[in-house]
């Protein structure tokens, strides 16, 4: 049994806290809001995030970072990506050397182009950082439905320790040393999910969805491998697996926001309607900046940015994608000269 702090009481943080509690660990769930923490403590519910899910009395819920972190072996950081740096700064007084931090937030910081674990390592260098990602809607994890994720860590011993903490009959965990690939896959798939949602909102069919998923995976892999991720990672759970579930499910806030954009909503209107953080909006700009710094083309992600931030008509964006210059699907596949 371990003492674990979960930093962030959104739907994903709460679901992970429930999973770890069910696994027999002592869990403290931290909310940035005192009123939210009090509501969860007194009602044993978190209806705005996980409707119909009971929060056991044995889970400690607090708005005090000191209470959430002091004496803990592991802290899971599950706040929206745009708040990871601010939260890490607030965590400083309570970390101890060797404390394990697991980033379960997905995104890329727009100003620095850092991943979430890079932010944590920079602000809290005395800690050990790992990441958790994969096709895992919080609503299903909270209900105990079968889910599979990946733990990424720089040292195998840390990955195996965390694997044991999370592993359960309904939550299977694999391990990987490719921290970079795991994080980039988790962040970039949200941008492609926005595109898939836009296509749905415009009334396009399964053919368009399949094209966006497969060509979106090409863009994720192209940028991810250039930045140090492994190609094998992008064909796995935190690449293709996470992309499929995020593009296909109505649990996905990115897809839901995209549907509204496809119906003619502005970015601001779509964000208000979804009423949750839409991580793909924040990662979209960062992805374009990274691609340009590497000299890489990301046509789908470029068009998503123009729809989001330049008011581009989604119909025009689709038309431009369809009318791009003719390409070879995979330049690594050679033609057989004997067939000439």
Distance of CA 13 to the CA centre of its chain: 12
Q: How much is the pTM?
A: 0.94
What does the chain come to in residues? 340
Query: Using an 8 Å Cβ cutoff, are 197 and 271 in contact?
Result: no
Query: Using an 8 Å Cβ cutoff, are 304 and 284 in contact?
Result: yes
Please name the residue that has the structure tokens 């209900």: 143
Q: What are the strands, taking DSSP E only, across the chain?
A: 3-7, 26-30, 45-46, 50-54, 60-62, 74-77, 100-103, 128-133, 147-153, 171-176
- The one-digit pLDDT tens for each residue of the chain (340 residues) are 899 999 999 999 999 999 999 999 999 999 999 999 999 999 999 998 999 999 999 999 999 999 999 999 999 999 999 999 999 999 999 999 999 999 999 999 999 999 999 999 999 999 999 999 999 999 999 999 999 999 999 999 999 999 999 999 999 999 999 999 999 999 999 999 999 999 999 999 999 999 999 999 999 999 999 999 999 999 999 999 999 999 999 899 999 999 999 999 998 999 899 887 888 998 999 999 999 999 999 999 999 999 999 999 999 998 888 877 778 888 778 888 887 6
Which residues fall within 8 angstroms of residue 112, CB to CB, at 6 or more apart?
118, 119
Single out the residue of 307, 319, 318, 304 nearest to residue 266, CA to CA: 307
Single out the residue of 103, 64, 67 nearest to residue 85, CA to CA: 103
First-to-last C-alpha distance (Å) of the chain: 66
Q: What is the rounded distance in angstroms from the CA atom of residue 284 to the CA atom of residue 306?
A: 10
SS3 at position 52: strand
Single out the residue of 137, 14, 23 nearest to residue 78, CA to CA: 14
Domain architecture of the chain: domains with CATH: 3-177 (3.40.50.720), 180-322 (1.10.1040.10)
pLDDT score at 318: 86
Q: What is the rounded distance in angstroms from the CA atom of residue 73 to the CA atom of residue 197?
A: 40
pLDDT score at 239: 95
Q: Is 285 a catalytic residue?
A: no
The tokens for 280 are 């793909």
SS3 at position 73: coil
Q: What is the rounded distance in angstroms from the CA atom of residue 299 to the CA atom of residue 307?
A: 13
Neighbour count for residue 36 (Cβ, 10 Å) = 16
Which residue out of 189, 209, 263, 285 is catalytically annotated? 189
């Amino acid at each position: 049994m371990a003492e674990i702090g979960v930093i962030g009481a959104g739907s994903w943080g709460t679901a992970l806290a429930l999973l770890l509690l069910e696994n027999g660990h002592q869990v403290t769930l931290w909310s940035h809001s005192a009123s939210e923490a009090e509501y969860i403590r007194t009602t044993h519910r978190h209806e705005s995030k996980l409707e119909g899910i009971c929060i056991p009395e044995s889970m400690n819920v607090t708005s005090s970072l000191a209470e959430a972190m002091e004496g803990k072996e592991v802290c899971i950081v599950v706040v929206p990506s745009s708040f990871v740096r601010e939260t890490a700064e607030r965590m400083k007084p309570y970390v101890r050397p060797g404390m394990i931090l697991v980033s379960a937030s997905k995104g890329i910081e727009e100003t620095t182009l850092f991943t979430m674990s890079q932010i944590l390592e920079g602000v809290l260098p005395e800690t050990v950082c790992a990441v958790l990602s994969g096709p895992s809607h919080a609503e299903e994890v909270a209900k105990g439905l079968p889910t599979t994720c990946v733990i990424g860590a720089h040292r195998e011993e840390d990955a195996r320790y965390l694997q044991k903490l999370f592993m359960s009959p309904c939550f299977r965990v694999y391990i990987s040393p490719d921290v970079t690939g795991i994080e980039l896959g988790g962040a970039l798939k949200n941008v492609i999910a926005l595109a898939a949602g836009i296509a749905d909102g415009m009334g396009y069919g399964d053919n368009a969805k399949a094209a966006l998923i497969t060509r979106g995976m090409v863009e994720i892999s192209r940028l991810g491998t250039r930045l140090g991720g492994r190609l094998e990672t992008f064909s796995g759970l935190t690449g293709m697996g996470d992309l499929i579930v995020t593009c296909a499910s109505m649990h996905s806030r990115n897809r839901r926001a995209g549907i509204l954009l496809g119906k003619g909503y502005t970015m601001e209107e779509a964000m208000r309607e979804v009423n949750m953080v839409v991580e793909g909006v924040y990662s979209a700009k960062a992805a374009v900046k990274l691609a340009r710094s590497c000299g890489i083309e990301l046509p789908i992600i470029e068009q998503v940015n123009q729809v989001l931030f330049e008011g581009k008509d989604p119909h025009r964006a689709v038309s431009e994608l369809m009318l791009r210059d003719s390409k070879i699907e995979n330049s690594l596949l050679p033609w057989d000269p004997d067939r000439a």
